[in-house]
Amino acid sequence: MNKKLMAVLLTGLMTSQVQAAEWQALPETAPAPADNPTTAAKVELGKMLYMDPRLSSTGTVSCNSCHNVMEGGDDSRAVSMGVHGQTGGRSAPTVWNSAFHSVQFWDGRANSLEDQAKGPITNPIEMGMKNHDQAMTVVKDIPGYKAYFEKAFGKNSMNIENAAKAIAAFERTLITPNSAYDRFVKGDKKALSKQQQDGMNKFAELGCVGCHSGAAFNGPSNEIGVGFYAKFPTFADNDYVAKYKLTDDKGRGGVTNNAAENNMFRVPTLRNISDTAPYFHNGSVKTLEEAVRVMAKTQLNQDLSQQDVKNIVAFLEALTGDYPEISMPRLPASKGSSVVAD
């Protein structure tokens, strides 16, 4: 962890003047694993697969259905809708800046974007394919895809591993730098208003940076495969817990079957947070103002004044960066046949 940020966490020495050197700007490129370097051909194929609803059993649900890159990278729903109108139990996290997460999914059950990309395809509620072989049979039966796979990976490369690598490569381009906050920490003292600077100070003073630190505000480290989790709620003796059903989901404990990890969740990014309502793993909170109040009480046992809430929200709004322009791809046509089984 950055030594100056560690000093803030340990001693709370944030003064009334925001010190930009203690904060990190978002990188403009995302790290890629050694076995999947980012190339233009992979990104092109990955965007097509990401947008293609034919990877679902009904031909109606794509990755973009729940993680809409034409908007905030989510679906603006409390819980997402998959095939046959089924809904799951969790809110879709934004895909923007997901490359900076150390693990994927709310419960960290995937160590990488490549692992994550394969999960929804065979989830019976999400995309509903029986298995990955069925999904790749559909892709192979669409004549135009072969050339894109060969361009990205070479001959005989149409398999689920390469499909996932392509989707992950596309997702690593989904970065939103140059927010007002980023410009501020790079030296533009006018990039943040006084209210936003006050909110930034309060954010640090309260201890929010204990979890929401680093360039993506999702933890002190983004080492791939090493999850950074927090118990939510930490303080359960308040009305918010029952009102928003915050303890119903076991989180990480549901994956590991370790009771000590119940209600532990991967810390989400706060980047573009004002564009990704509703909030929390179950999408139970509709507004950012309420989310700030809930977090202060359940994680820090603090009751905030209305002015503090407004200031922190103003700061969080300054974390919205520049969205790169995304054009919809022309998908290869399914010629003369349907991809949906009778």
Going residue by residue through the chain, which has 342 residues, state the pLDDT in tens, using 9 for 90 and above: 444 433 333 333 333 344 444 799 999 999 999 999 999 999 999 999 999 999 999 999 999 999 999 999 999 999 999 999 999 999 999 999 999 999 999 999 999 999 999 999 999 999 999 999 999 999 999 999 999 999 999 999 999 999 999 999 999 999 999 999 999 999 999 999 999 999 999 999 999 999 999 999 999 866 766 889 999 999 999 999 999 999 999 999 999 999 999 999 999 999 999 999 999 999 999 999 999 999 999 999 999 999 999 999 999 999 999 999 999 999 999 977 777 755
In this structure, the answer to whether residues 52 and 83 fall within a common structural domain is: yes
Round to whole Å and give the CA distance between 139 and 160: 10
In this structure, the answer to whether residues 57 and 122 fall within a common structural domain is: yes
Q: For residue 126, indicate whether it is catalytic.
A: yes
Q: Report which secondary-structure segment, H or E, holds 184.
A: helix 180-185
42 touches 50 (CB < 8 A): no
Residue 341 pLDDT: 59
Q: Taking Cα atoms as reference points, which of 2, 312, 295, 268 lies closest to residue 10?
A: 2
Residue 111 CB-half CA count within 13 A: 5
Round to whole Å and give the CA distance between 159 and 149: 9
In this structure, the answer to whether residues 257 and 304 fall within a common structural domain is: yes
Residue 23 pLDDT: 93
In this structure, the answer to whether residues 48 and 158 fall within a common structural domain is: yes
Residue 311 pLDDT: 98
Query: Residue 18: which CATH number?
Result: 1.10.760.10
Place of tokens 């564009």: 275
Q: 126, 171, 261, 317: which one is catalytic?
A: 126
Domain count, the chain: 2
Integer angstrom CA distances of residue 186 from 20, 21, 137, 194, 326: 7, 8, 49, 17, 26
In a domain, 283, yes or no: yes
In this structure, the answer to whether residues 270 and 289 fall within a common structural domain is: yes
Considering only the C-alpha atoms of the chain, give the largest distance between any 2 of them, rounded to a whole number of Å.
68
Pairing of strands 264-266, 229-231: antiparallel
In this structure, the answer to whether residues 313 and 191 fall within a common structural domain is: yes
Residue 267: DSSP 8-state: P
In a domain, 113, yes or no: yes
- Main-chain dihedrals φ then ψ at residue 106, nearest 5 degrees: -55, -35
Residue 342 pLDDT: 52
In a domain, 90, yes or no: yes
In this structure, the answer to whether residues 309 and 193 fall within a common structural domain is: yes
Q: Taking Cα atoms as reference points, which of 75, 97, 103 lies closest to residue 251?
A: 103
This prediction has a pTM of 0.92
In this structure, the answer to whether residues 229 and 268 fall within a common structural domain is: yes
In this structure, the answer to whether residues 148 and 224 fall within a common structural domain is: no
Look at residues 171, 203, 237 and tell me which one is the last residue of a structural domain: 171
Q: Which domain holds residue 101?
A: 40-171
Amino acid at 65: S
